[in-house]
Amino acid sequence: MAKNFNAWPKDWPKNLNYPEIPVHAFLDQTANRAPNRLAIIFGGMELTYAELKELSDRFAAALDHMGVQKGDRVAIHLPNMPQFAIAYYGAIRIGAVFTPLSPLQSPREARHQLSDSGAETLISLDLLFPGIQPIISETAIKRIITTSIADCYNAIIAPVKPLEKMEVPDTIDMALLLKQHEHLEKEVPIDVKKDLVHLAYTGGTTGASKGVMLTHANVVANVLQYGSWASGSQVEWVDGVLKAVYPPGVDPKRDRLTAGDQETALVVVPWFHAMGTVGYLNVQVYGGTTMVVFPRFEPKEYLDAVVKYRATMLGGAPQLFIPLINLPDFDSYDLSSIKIAASGAAPLAIPVLEKMLDAFTGGVVQEGWGLTECSMGATANPPDRKAIRSGSVGLPVYDTECKVIHAATGEDLPSGSEGELCIRGPQVMQGYWKSPEASTEILKDGWLLTGDIGHEDEDGFIYITDRKKDMIIYKGYNVYPREIEEVIFEHSAVRQCAVVGKPDLDTGEYPVAFVELKQGAQATREEIMEHTNAQIGHYKKIRDVVFMETIPVSGAGKVLKRDLREHLIQE
């Protein structure tokens, strides 16, 4: 079935050119084109694009000197901060594979990811590392590099920003490495279609934590797809220079929503998340955007930054916007500078969308959809207030196709039919790390089976209506019930359990455990929660426990989670 271009933006190319370049070429290009443009603002600290490139070059040289080789996995265990971007571009420049380690993970989860990926190098924060230090000996980690937020500030500003650097014994100081090493003296050859650049862990559609294998070509494609979507530009690679090309007579500053080397984005989406690494780091670097970076989200600080920096772009999960619009003085902020407010990772409630559109008077609230298995994204609403469709996650972006199949039989369904959504495009992953069977289950004849249920309308807009699997989305983070259930089952009093998501305006959904106790056994709500939450990441913690005499199951013995969700909704 041919792609539906009925609602395609006027004068936008229907296909993009994808030069065979490695991901770090985005930084190289912008540093050469606009060396003095600010790349990162972090709590008042500023880095230009030329400085970001030099520091990443120095870090690449340091890793090379320590013996990190092409193909080695390098785990980055940091919040959003300048050192994250420096470490990321430095590692991939020497052909290493970036594997993000969420600071929200429990030691148990971190051990699994480090062990499964075989990472030998870890970059961590002085405040975070003690939490996972006990499990390091159970992994293949050989070298640990630590850094500190305090490294971003000098002695003069210390009275205003009283942060102290912690000593982390038996680790290598990142600031010292950057001082000791200069430019990388060699260029590592990279086969962009074969060499991996990202190994990000996700539960996929089955709930088991697996590494998503993405090549440089996968990530470059997704960066260009989204980097060109708001501007409607074509991509050309001429004599080693990456260019955005427009139709004759088009001035991007006048005729397009965004333009290169002109925008300022607030970045709070975690760079360890697929949406963060691709959309809020690489897409921004490609466009020469100034990134105002936050290590955590505080609503008032965030809104103050829009006004202070006259930010033109922001975005994240819906749970970013809900606290903003609920601030008592939200209406007093001048947010007219915002051109694009992007939303993804979970459905955006229409009342929230309307409130945002009222606030961003000249901007677009742009919903999109994707998953780690397609680098980041597959769809986006058009960059035009009049063209967006409330409730839709938009159109498949450049060179991306979506189809709907029968969830049980796999049969292709006609437009308008509801079924499982599938994606095909240059951003789709190579498969799961060391999991050929799981890869075969989700990749069929070039199509990625997403596990999301939805439909396509007559103009090609995609709508998500349900999830095939039981994943919970808490504040934009994927929570897989199976992981939590396995921990609950370890409690000696539990006979049966099931975890489902309870709808919640502030968080999207939060995990609730239904528990059936063994005959004669006793346990309290607090005991089950304490046992479970001590072993899982903060965002996965169960917020309530419901005891049942018998958890409902189907004739085949499968827990009827739909019934449990209905119970919570009725409650």
Q: Which band of pLDDT confidence, cut at 50, 70 and 90, is reported for residue 208? A: low
Is residue 370 over pLDDT 60?
A: yes
- The pLDDT value recorded for residue 556 is 46
Q: State residue 138 phi and psi, 5-degree precision.
A: -95, 5
Mean pLDDT of 422-432: 98
Q: Which two tokens stand for residue 285?
A: 């670097």
What is the 3 state secondary structure string of 416-442? CCCEEEEEECCCCCCEECCCHHHHHHH
- Residue 203 pLDDT level (bands cut at 50, 70, 90): low
Looking at residue 558, its pLDDT comes to: 62
For 191, half-sphere exposure in the C-beta direction (CA atoms, 13 angstrom radius) is: 4
Q: Are 508 and 476 in contact (CB under 8 A)?
A: yes
pLDDT tens string 440-493: 999 999 999 999 888 999 999 999 877 777 788 898 887 878 788 878 988 999
Give, in order, the Cα–Cα distances in Å from 139 to each of 120, 201, 485.
8, 16, 25
pTM over 0.85, yes/no: yes
pLDDT of 557 > 60? The answer is: no
Q: Hey, what amino acid is at 387?
A: A
DSSP characters for 439-485? Answer: HHHHEETTEEEEEEEEEE-TTS-EEEEEESS--EEETTEEE-HHHHH
Nearest CA to 428 among 210, 217, 234, 191? 217
Lowest mean pLDDT among 21-35, 219-233, 349-363, 556-570: 556-570
Q: What average pLDDT does the segment 80-101 reach?
A: 98
Q: Is the pLDDT of residue 204 over 80?
A: no
207 - beta bridge partners? Answer: none
pLDDT at residue 28 in the model: 98
CA distance 181 to 55: 9
In the chain, the percentage of residues whose pLDDT exceeds 90 is: 74
- CA neighbor of 377 nearest in space, from 388, 393, 364, 361: 393
User: Residues of 89-121 as b/e, b for ≥16 C-beta within 10 angstroms?
Assistant: bbbbbbbbbbbbbbbebbbebbbbbbebbbbbb
Higher pLDDT, 560 or 264: 264
- Any residues with CB less than 8 A from the CB of 359 and at least 6 apart, and which? 325, 330, 331, 333, 335, 338
What is the distance between the alpha carbons of residues 26 and 40, in angstroms, rounded to a whole number? 15
In the chain, the domains with their CATH numbers are: 22-190 (3.40.50.980), 402-467 (2.30.38.10), 479-570 (3.30.300.30)
Tracing tokens 């102290």 back to the chain, one arrives at: 164
